[in-house]
């Protein structure tokens, strides 16, 4: 049997894990809102129209923060449309996704849903068609106690206490030509800086995320980050990164290596942030908000057919990727990469949460179920708390189209505040189990208390409403510790969680 080794030590600390790296995203896109979290006629709907079966799954997933309301949607969105009496809210054409937005669910409703789902709101302001004035107004509306125009209007609209939104995105993907209000790096940096100033003047306790480049392969990537940060570095707290992966050529080994690209991407953006900080002699370091990430390629052709049939419809079934087992393995590898960069990646949002490239799927009027990618996300959120440790790993390797010497075993480890140790490990080998030998002598007496394995013999296996348990975790029973060394068998093509206490 193939063998990999790992050395862990309490002193190999990368950094404290911010739970918000297990965040997600709800955009007014497709059936994420209407038919996803909100369906008043559904058998499980509460008095406010929210599907309880979906809320139960979101709670199970353990999502600490949800980005809202977009996405591309936000660059043409007037936040004022989403407040006040529902029957007086306007219907608007959403140019980003060629649908009609009814504004049935707005700011108050979403904040109410977030409370029910045990999560916090990460709100994106429109810096496409709007600017600093609208940005400061919504912060006043959401967070100011009272005694001003916008805060008193919030109270009039039924929320006596502030909504308390503490994390804000300054627009979305503003270097993308597809974006309404597309800007150059200098133009965006200037407006982001002015918006950031007045937003923090209204509420100094908030944190702000500046838009990084829309994609790693954009011609603006790199120069965009440097120039826009040169304008707004002092007034923002995070830079956003977005990255999606696909496997349209059915190259499983290459697909499962894509988190190596992700690690390169993170380190490049960190270097740019620090270069700008160095130029400015800044005492603070900017951290990263990886506020869009996922696998996304299954639904591309389907979306074109939907638009042909019903352009400008309400809640069209867009971006409804059905995820398979190999997608779950890459999702797990991505989460491992975030943990290995926990000193700088402080927020991350799996895009998205329900129906739209999502871990949770629903049928209108029917069931709700967990897709394959649900499970690594749930495990990481549940067990990946505390301090991230730097593992020293020696593993057999393979070569693929884009990368050489890809380790068959990738892993991360977290040290809980209670002294427990959790190891997350992916075996990329398509045929062979691998024995992982871990040196844990630095931790004293530890015993394995749980081993979770996600494995399926078919990498294309999916979960459906009819068969929601096709790809689900199982108990592993082979982790053993002797004299400070743990051995555990990682099945071929598997995601593993080993907790020791």
List the catalytic residues.
173, 292
SS3 annotation, 253-275: HHHCCHHHHHHHHHHHHHHHHHH
Question: What's the CA gap between 292 and 289, in Å, rounded?
Answer: 9
Which residue's entry shows tokens 């502030």?
A: 162
- Buried b / exposed e over 70-89, threshold 16 CB at 10 Å, is bbbbbbbbebbbbbbeeeeb
How far is residue 377 from each of residues 252, 264, 359, 371, 460, measured CA to CA in Å? 20, 22, 9, 11, 19
Virtual torsion, Cα 198, 201, 205, 206, nearest 10 deg: -10
**By the 8 A CB rule, do 437 and 302 touch?**
no
DSSP secondary structure letter of residue 18: P
**By the 8 A CB rule, do 270 and 276 touch?**
no
**By the 8 A CB rule, do 22 and 64 touch?**
yes
Question: What's the CA gap between 8 and 416, in Å, rounded?
Answer: 14
How far is residue 316 from each of residues 196, 364, 424, measured CA to CA in Å? 34, 12, 37
Would you give the distance in Å from CA 39 to the centre of its chain? Answer: 24
Q: What is the DSSP string of 385-415?
A: -SEEE--EEE--EE--SS-SSEESEEEEEEE
Other C-beta atoms closer than 10 Å to the C-beta of 493 total: 24
Strand partners for 482: 485
Q: What is the DSSP string of 15-45?
A: EEPPGGGGEEE--SSTTSTBTTTB-TTSTTB
Other C-beta atoms closer than 10 Å to the C-beta of 135 total: 27
The tokens describing 25, both together, are 């995203």
């Amino acid at each position: 049997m193939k063998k990999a080794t790992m050395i862990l030590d309490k002193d190999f600390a990368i950094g404290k894990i911010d739970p918000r790296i297990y965040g997600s995203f709800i955009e007014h896109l497709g059936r994420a809102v209407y038919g996803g979290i909100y369906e008043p006629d559904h058998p499980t709907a509460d008095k406010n129209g929210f599907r309880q079966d979906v809320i139960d799954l979101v709670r199970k997933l353990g999502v600490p923060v949800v980005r809202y309301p977009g996405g591309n949607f936000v660059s043409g969105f007037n936040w004022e449309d989403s407040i006040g009496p529902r029957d007086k809210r306007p219907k608007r054409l959403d140019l980003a996704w060629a649908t009609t937005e009814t504004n049935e669910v707005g700011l108050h409703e979403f904040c109410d849903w977030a409370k029910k789902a045990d999560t916090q709101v990460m709100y994106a302001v429109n810096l496409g068609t709007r600017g600093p004035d609208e940005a400061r107004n919504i912060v006043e509306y959401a967070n100011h106690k009272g005694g001003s125009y916008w805060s008193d209007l919030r109270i009039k609209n039924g929320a006596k206490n502030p909504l308390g939104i503490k994390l804000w995105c300054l627009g979305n993907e503003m270097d993308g030509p597809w974006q309404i209000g597309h800007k150059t790096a200098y133009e965006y940096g200037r407006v982001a800086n002015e918006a950031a100033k007045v937003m923090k003047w209204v509420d100094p306790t908030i944190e702000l995320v500046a838009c990084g480049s829309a994609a790693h392969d954009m011609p603006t990537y790199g120069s965009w980050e440097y120039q826009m940060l040169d304008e707004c570095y002092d007034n923002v707290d995070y830079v956003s990164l977005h990255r999606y992966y696909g496997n349209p050529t059915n190259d499983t080994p290459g697909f499962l290596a894509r988190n190596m690209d992700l690690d390169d991407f993170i380190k490049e953006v960190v270097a740019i942030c620090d270069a700008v900080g160095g130029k400015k002699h800044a005492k603070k370091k900017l951290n990263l908000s990886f506020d869009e990430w996922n696998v996304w390629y299954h639904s591309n052709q389907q979306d074109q057919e939907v638009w042909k049939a019903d352009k400008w419809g309400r809640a069209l079934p867009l971006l409804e990727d059905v995820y398979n087992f190999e997608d779950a393995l890459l999702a797990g590898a991505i989460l491992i990469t975030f943990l290995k960069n926990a000193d700088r990646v402080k927020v991350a949002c799996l895009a998205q949460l329900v129906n739209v490239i999502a871990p949770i799927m629903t049928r209108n009027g029917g069931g709700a179920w967990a897709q394959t990618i649900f499970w690594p996300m749930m495990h990481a959120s549940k067990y990946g708390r505390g301090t991230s440790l730097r593992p020293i790993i020696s593993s057999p390797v393979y070569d693929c189209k884009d990368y050489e010497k890809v380790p068959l075993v990738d892993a991360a480890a977290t040290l809980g505040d209670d002294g427990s140790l959790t190891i997350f490990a992916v075996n990329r080998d398509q045929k062979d189990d691998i024995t992982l030998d871990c040196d844990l002598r630095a931790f004293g007496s530890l015993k394995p208390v749980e081993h979770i394995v996600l494995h399926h013999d078919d990498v294309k296996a999916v979960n459906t409403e009819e068969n929601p348990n096709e790809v689900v975790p199982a108990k592993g029973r082979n982790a053993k510790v002797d004299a400070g060394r743990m051995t555990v068998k990682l099945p071929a093509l598997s995601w593993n969680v080993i907790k020791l206490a």
